Amino acid sequence: MSTVLAWATLAVWAGLALCHSWFWRTDQRLPEPVRPERWPSVAIVVPARDEAELLPETLPTLLRQSYPGDARVILVDDGSSDGTAEVARALTVPNGLPLTVTSPGEPPDGWTGKLWAVAHGVREAGDVDFLLLTDADIAHAPDSLKALVATSGRDLVSQMAVLRTATFWERLIVPAFVYFFAMLYPFRRVNSARWRTAAAAGGCVLVRRSVLERAGGIAAIRGAVIDDVALARAVASAGGRIWLGYATKVWSVRPYPRLADLWQMVARSAYTQLRHSPLLLAGTVVGMIAVFLAPPALALTGSWQAALAWLLMAATFVPVARYYRQPLVAGLLLPFTAALYTLMTIDSARRRTGWKGRTY
């Protein structure tokens, strides 16, 4: 029986490595820019709740964008209690992009706080060609906006921001988070017209306003907790073309120094991803055990097939490890990290979804 299981694990990993749209590769980057005949107008919308500590690191990078067209920054204070709005107003950059700081008040029933803030920012933006939706913990290189806009032919362009990996737990958990996300939503499928996979990374999303309106606006996803994927699906359903890739000019400065911090990050939305279904939760747990935990367990009993499956698993992790400048042997620890994610997902089922004092 163990031999059959070992062969099965090897077959699964061979299939994932070769037949799952090369999900493990990190070569989906912004294509070569195409200079438009006219640089479109852009409003950068930043929802922020209790972000006074991080804004000095991120907001100036938006205000210093070297963009040839008309652009402005709108920071929406989502009911902060730490002086976020005052800190933002004090960060105005000489000769930088214009900054508007506004607040929508508490969200109505059926809205998440973040999306209520985003919708308010979109209304404040007025009649612009594009909206850049970016989180308050995301910093941008000076030509980030220009590079995003110059990506021709797409109605939604999103980049997976480079996440922080300064501590032991960040180095262990964060690259695996990106790896699992790409396994769930292979970037090549998102970017291909032949597939119907739709996804986005919420820290950096450029969307064409006319297509967003055709999709029903932010109101169409007003209750979504995993709002980035919901937005991508709404735009795709409205006939918009989407693109998702790995960032080189966009990064997160939010620290997750302790395992508890990362646990909270994953657990607050994992069960939502499973549509609050006990059946999907059970299937996910069984799948994680069979795919990630069985190979090392069987390999330790002497199965060469399982050992080869484990090595194949580790090999698929190499591109993400390189992207995050981690040791190439980090993939051998993927079963341990997968076990932590499995526990986080189980824990998510007993929690109420929440963020910074709000529960949904």
> How far apart are alpha carbons 143 and 317 in whole angstroms?
30
- Weakest-pLDDT range from 30-44, 115-129, 277-291: 30-44
Phi, psi of 147 (to 5 degrees): -65, -40
Identify the band that residue 151 occupies on the pLDDT scale cut at 50, 70 and 90: confident
pLDDT 10s digits, 186-208: 999 999 999 999 999 989 999 99
Q: CA-based diameter of the chain, in Å?
A: 70
319, 324, 328, 334: CA torsion to nearest 10:
-90
Q: What is the average pLDDT value for the chain, to the nearest integer? A: 94
> How far apart are alpha carbons 271 and 350 in whole angstroms?
9
In this prediction, residue 32 carries a pLDDT of 82
Nearest CA to 328 out of 340, 337, 320 is that of 320
Per the listing, tokens 């998702």 go with: 244
Domains of the chain: 2-24+259-352 (no CATH), 42-252 (3.90.550.10)
Query: Residue 49 is which amino acid?
Result: R
Residue 34 in this model has a pLDDT that exceeds 60? yes
Query: pTM value?
Result: 0.94
What's the Rg (C-alpha) of the chain?
21
Q: In the 8-state DSSP scheme, what is residue 68?
A: S
pLDDT 10s digits, 292-303: 999 999 999 999
Element of type H or E holding 150: none
Residue 359 in this model has a pLDDT that exceeds 70? no
Query: Do 161 and 201 meet the contact criterion of CB atoms below 8 Å apart?
Result: yes
Identify the band that residue 117 occupies on the pLDDT scale cut at 50, 70 and 90: very high
